[in-house]
């Protein structure tokens, strides 16, 4: 290679490496904001299993690789979710590939949740869906001024999965219901305030922090404390009382009625947002968060979420939601049923129903 020429881009979807006792998982699909494919989930799980058995590996870092051409637009997120288009393509046929994706993705989520070695996840930029699933299990979760955290699945006919029923249900008050239903976005300061992030570090300081962690992996607590700073005031704090009051209703219909009856501009905005969401997905998501508070084992959470995902991935609302927002991009989904009243409780019961024993989700050995 001639002097001054650029290195060829790495075409691996996830770059796996180990250096000085630190295992690194670097998501590498910049044009898709590093959305997870099935192969990425399998590769990350395999690397984690290898490092678990390797005494030389003391720490694991999860982040994304830099754009090969330096375009900042291609480095705008940690992970935008899962490969929804591939799941949609499968859902339009037999759904087998979609279910295999969810099965292995949830195994990865559980593997990280139960991992014995410390993991640092860098939630820099867009962190949605599948990105939440690989960052929230980490012991150390780093937010920045560029963090944009959300679980927006009700807008495409799905639900906040990858452990969303566990993480959201454990947020203060009714914040979990609010985020699950509306897909509300949080910045880095709000993530820290709610406990979704453990540290707040300026994006410009991340490279130096990562280098320090690789050089001194046994000093992670001290290095993170040194690099962190006090985040700005959390905007969501000004709405916490309204969230607890308006999103605490027993049913989805009760929540909608409370929002409609409230005269505040914020409440009316949330009601307008919910009018765009799948009524079926909202009822599923509300039940998921409410039931998630009762789970004491993360594996139980993932088992339930897999049942829901396996049922929903071929249903009309998911197929229509992805068509409208991702494929055709007309942003005009036609939900079926079109109203919350048209979604009876027994329909939600069916979505949460157990699968055949041979088809149920299980953790990796």
Active-site residue, from 43, 161, 177, 301: 161
364 vs 94: CA distance, rounded Å: 25
Catalytic residue among 82, 95, 155, 163: 82
Task: State the catalytic residue, choosing from 153, 190, 305, 317.
Answer: 153
360 among known catalytic residues = no
Rounded Cα distance, 287 and 349, in Å: 10
Q: Give the angle subtended at the CA of 23 by the CAs of 19 and 24, to the nearest 5°.
A: 100
161: annotated active-site residue: yes
As a whole number of angstroms, the distance between CA 359 and CA 365 comes to 16
End-to-end Cα spacing for the chain: 45
Active site residue 292: no
Cα–Cα distance, 134 to 41 (Å, whole number): 10
Q: Is 219 a catalytic residue?
A: no
Biggest alpha carbon distance in the chain?
A: 69
24 vs 16: CA distance, rounded Å: 6
E runs forming strands in the chain: 14-19, 22-27, 59-64, 77-79, 119-123, 126-128, 140-143, 148-150, 186-187, 199-200
User: Which position among 91, 95, 125, 130 bears the catalytic label?
Assistant: 130
Three-state SS string across 84-103, please? HHHHHHHHCCCCHHHHHHHH
As annotated, the active-site residues are 82, 130, 153, 161
């Amino acid at each position: 290679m001639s002097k001054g020429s650029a290195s060829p881009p790495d075409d691996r979807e996830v770059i796996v490496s180990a250096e000085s006792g630190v295992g690194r998982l670097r998501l590498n699909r910049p044009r898709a904001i590093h959305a997870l494919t099935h192969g990425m989930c399998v590769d990350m799980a395999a690397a984690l299993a290898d490092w678990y058995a390797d005494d030389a590996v003391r720490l694991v870092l999860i982040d994304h690789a830099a754009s090969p051409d330096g375009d900042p637009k291609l480095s705008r997120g940690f992970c935008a979710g899962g490969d929804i288009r591939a799941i949609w393509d499968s859902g339009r046929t037999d759904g087998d590939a979609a279910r295999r994706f969810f099965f292995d993705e949830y195994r990865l989520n559980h593997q990280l949740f139960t991992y014995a070695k410390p993991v640092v996840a860098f939630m820099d930029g867009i962190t949605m869906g599948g990105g939440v699933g690989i960052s929230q299990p980490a012991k150390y979760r780093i937010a920045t001024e560029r963090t944009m955290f959300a679980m927006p699945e009700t807008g495409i006919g799905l639900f906040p999965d990858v452990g969303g029923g566990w993480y959201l249900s454990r947020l203060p008050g009714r914040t979990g219901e609010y985020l699950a239903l509306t897909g509300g976005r949080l910045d880095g300061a709000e993530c820290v305030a709610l406990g979704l992030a453990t540290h707040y570090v300026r994006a410009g300081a991340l490279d130096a922090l990562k280098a320090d962690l690789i050089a001194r992996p046994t000093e992670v607590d001290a290095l993170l404390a040194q690099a962190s700073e006090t985040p700005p005031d959390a905007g969501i704090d000004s709405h916490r009382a309204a969230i607890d009051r308006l999103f605490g209703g027993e049913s989805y219909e009760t929540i909608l009625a409370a929002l409609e009856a409230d005269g505040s501009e914020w409440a009316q905005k949330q009601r307008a947002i919910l009018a765009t969401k799948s009524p079926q997905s909202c009822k599923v998501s509300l039940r998921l968060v409410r039931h998630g508070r009762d789970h004491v084992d993360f594996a139980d959470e993932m088992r339930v979420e897999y049942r829901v995902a396996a049922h929903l991935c071929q249903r009309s609302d998911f197929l229509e939601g992805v068509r409208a927002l991702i494929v055709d991009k007309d942003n005009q989904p036609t939900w079926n049923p079109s109203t919350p009243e048209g979604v009876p409780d027994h329909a939600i019961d069916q979505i949460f129903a157990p699968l055949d024993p041979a088809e149920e989700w299980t953790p990796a050995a």
